[in-house]
Amino acid sequence: MKNRRCPRCHTHYAAPARYCPSDGTPLVEVEPSAGQSDSAGAGGNRREPAGPGAAGLTGQIVDGRYRVSRRLGEGGMAYVYLAEDLETREQVAVKILTPRLSRDPSSMERLRREASIAMRLDHPNVCRILRIGETTDKLTYLVMPYLPGDPLSEVEQRQGPFPLAEGVAILVQMCRGLQHAHALNIVHRDLKPENVMLVPDQTAPFTRRAVVMDFGLAKERRAGPELAKLTQTGIVLGTPEFMSPEQIRGKPLDGRSDVYAVAVLAFEMFTGKLPFEGRNPQEAMLARLKAQPLKLRTVREDLPPRLEAVIARALSVLPEDRFASMMDLGAAFESIAGGGMFARLFGR
């Protein structure tokens, strides 16, 4: 079931609401996040387990190894639980496909593809998959490290637009994680605030580590015809307000599509608004094909011109006019803060 989010105040509302009652902004539809979050978000209601199976595993032991303590979240195709790994004694997140979708071969293939892709990822700024398995009730599950943080969307909602230094630090970390994925020929395809977790950094007090979540829509650049048929086109999969123009058109994607999505996300982080306006998601999508984005400093004039220029370039309609890689985008963000760590990390 989809809900709707105000791109200005980030509050979530259930259909049939169309406009934010606080500021009148048209709402955009988003899939409920299956990320690791203990809260339902403002304007939303926590749904308790509805019975046995994927939705009612609290207190049970999954596959003889994972003792489930509570449900963390629910997405379009899975429930996510906090559990203890009885072998390692570590806390993990267990993502279980819903019974309805477990009967759908394409959904099963998509989940297994998500696991096979994410198992190859190994970076502190992406969420990796530890294991894929099947319960005695024939429910497929994924095991991931438990991340005790908050989705970026909820942090935006609580604190409003980010200060420059904090926002740039989060964006640089995202670029690092996505560069790692792109080096493995993996494109995320569904970057949005709900898919970025901010985790307290134990090595640096009062700072947060950004972790890119949910590579369920990820697509390898050298995908075969079976995978292409499975994922269909970007106009079907993805979150409308963060799609690149080529994804809207259903064109082949590469890492520059994620560059575009990070720029949309960055604009929203710093201003609380989206760079393209429309009365509904369809109008906002068309605006990306025909209109120019809002200028960052017309919304928030205290931000530096350099940041406006970086985001504007990353929002170019043509992929070849954007930054060529996440490495380049991350270095551009870091240059705003006067640092060179990102460039040195990749040998520049």
DSSP string of 117-148, one letter each residue:
HHTT---TTBPPP-EEEE-TTS-EEEEEE---
Q: How many residues does the chain have?
A: 348
- Looking at residue 279, the DSSP 8-state letter turns out to be S
Q: What is the Cα–Cα distance from 145 to 197, expressed in whole angstroms?
A: 12
Domains of the chain: 1-30 (no CATH), 53-145 (3.30.200.20), 150-345 (1.10.510.10)
Q: What is the Cα–Cα distance from 264 to 275, expressed in whole angstroms?
A: 7
Torsion of CA 4, 8, 9, 15, to 10 degrees: -20
Handedness of CA 94, 98, 103, 105 (dihedral sign): negative
Contact partners, residue 298, CB within 8 Å, separation at least 6: none
Quick one: tokens of 6? Answer: 């105000």
Give the containing element (helix H, strand E) for 24. Answer: none
Q: What is the Cα–Cα distance from 179 to 347, expressed in whole angstroms?
A: 13
Contact partners, residue 163, CB within 8 Å, separation at least 6: none
Whole-Å CA distances, 303 to 5, 76, 167, 179, 297: 25, 37, 11, 26, 6
Position 206 scores a pLDDT of 63
Residue among 95, 71, 65, 66 at smallest CA distance from 83: 66
Question: For the chain, where are the alpha helices, taking DSSP H only?
Answer: 99-102, 105-118, 152-159, 164-183, 225-231, 245-248, 255-271, 281-290, 296-299, 305-314, 326-336, 341-345
Cβ atoms of 130 and 118 within 8 Å: the answer is no
Catalytic hit among 190, 214, 258, 328: 190
Whole-model pTM?
A: 0.77
Position 3 scores a pLDDT of 62
Residue among 163, 168, 97 at smallest CA distance from 135: 97
Cβ atoms of 200 and 208 within 8 Å: the answer is yes
Q: What is the Cα–Cα distance from 285 to 234, expressed in whole angstroms?
A: 12
Position 348 scores a pLDDT of 42
Determine the distance from the C-alpha atom of residue 208 to the mean position of all C-alpha atoms in its chain, rounded to a whole number.
16
pLDDT single digits (tens) 278-336: 777 677 778 888 778 999 999 999 999 999 999 999 999 999 999 999 999 999 999 99
Residue written as tokens 């898919």? 195
Position 242 scores a pLDDT of 86
Q: Is 258 a catalytic residue?
A: no
- Per-position pLDDT tens, the chain of length 348: 346 666 656 677 766 565 565 555 556 655 444 456 543 333 333 333 333 466 678 888 998 999 999 998 876 667 899 999 999 999 999 988 777 777 778 777 776 776 787 788 999 999 988 998 888 778 888 899 999 899 999 999 899 999 999 999 999 999 999 999 999 988 998 899 989 999 987 776 668 899 998 875 555 544 333 333 333 333 334 567 788 999 888 899 999 999 999 999 999 999 999 998 777 767 777 888 877 899 999 999 999 999 999 999 999 999 999 999 999 999 999 999 765 444 444 444
Which neighbouring-strand residues pair with 29? 4
Q: What is the Cα–Cα distance from 47 to 70, expressed in whole angstroms?
A: 12
